[in-house]
Amino acid sequence: MSKPIYVLSGPNLNLLGVREPQIYGKETLDDVRAACERRAEALGRTIVFRQSNHEGVLIDWVQEARTEASAIVINPAGYGHTSIALLDALKAAELPIVECHLSNPAAREAVRHHTYVSLAATGLVSGFGLASYELAVEAAARLSA
Ligand code: DQA
């Protein structure tokens, strides 16, 4: 049995469904979790799905994933654009890492064009709303045993 894929979400994503739905969609984080669980199950895999508004908590989970996970899917949200500490934790994890965004940050304000997380990511899925997470879980499953 392979280790789970950690699916981590950063700040403000607990507000999915009510937060700028024209950008992030009407689905809630529970909907995202259910879709990820369905996709993982279809691939014969399991996930650990967590969200935090706190940078240090996300870093603790990435450090935990280092030994407990087979791969990491992470939507770092705003911390992707600011956090070198999160980048360092992801590099130290030495796991396949799939960066995931609901929107397409490259097509938005300039402040969103750079993410530190991309420097540690194996690949990036963005712009497909809830489906970004499903595709990221599929990519993570392909990248890991
Ligand atoms: C986001 C994009 C980020 O720029 C933003 O700060 C978020 C969500 C996305 O999923 O599209 O909070 O990561």
pLDDT tens string 27-56: 999 999 999 999 999 999 999 999 999 999
Question: What pLDDT is stored for residue 36 in this prediction?
Answer: 98
Q: How far is the CA of 141 from the centre of ligand 1 (A)?
A: 23
* Closest ligand 1 atom to Cα of 23: 11
Residue 1 has pLDDT above 90, yes or no: no
d(CA 24, CA 27): 8
CB atoms within 10 A of CB 98: 28
Tokens of 139: 């990519």
Establish whether residue 12 lines the binding site of ligand 1, counting it when its CB lies within 6 angstroms of any ligand atom.
yes
* Torsion on CA atoms 68, 60, 89, 97, rounded to nearest 10: 50
Tokens of 63: 């450090």
What does the pLDDT look like over 79-114, one tens digit per residue?
999 999 999 999 999 999 999 999 999 999 999 999
Residue 145 has pLDDT above 90, yes or no: no
Catalytic residue positions?
24, 101
* pTM, two decimal places: 0.97
Report which protein residue has its CA nearest ligand 1's atom 8: 77
Question: What pLDDT is stored for residue 17 in this prediction?
Answer: 95
Q: 29: part of which helix (H) or strand (E)?
A: helix 29-42
Q: How far is the CA of 72 from the centre of ligand 1 (A)?
A: 17
Stretch 112-122: mean pLDDT, rounded?
97
Question: What pLDDT is stored for residue 29 in this prediction?
Answer: 98
Question: What pLDDT is stored for residue 67 in this prediction?
Answer: 97
What does the pLDDT look like over 13-31, one tens digit per residue?
999 999 999 999 999 999 9
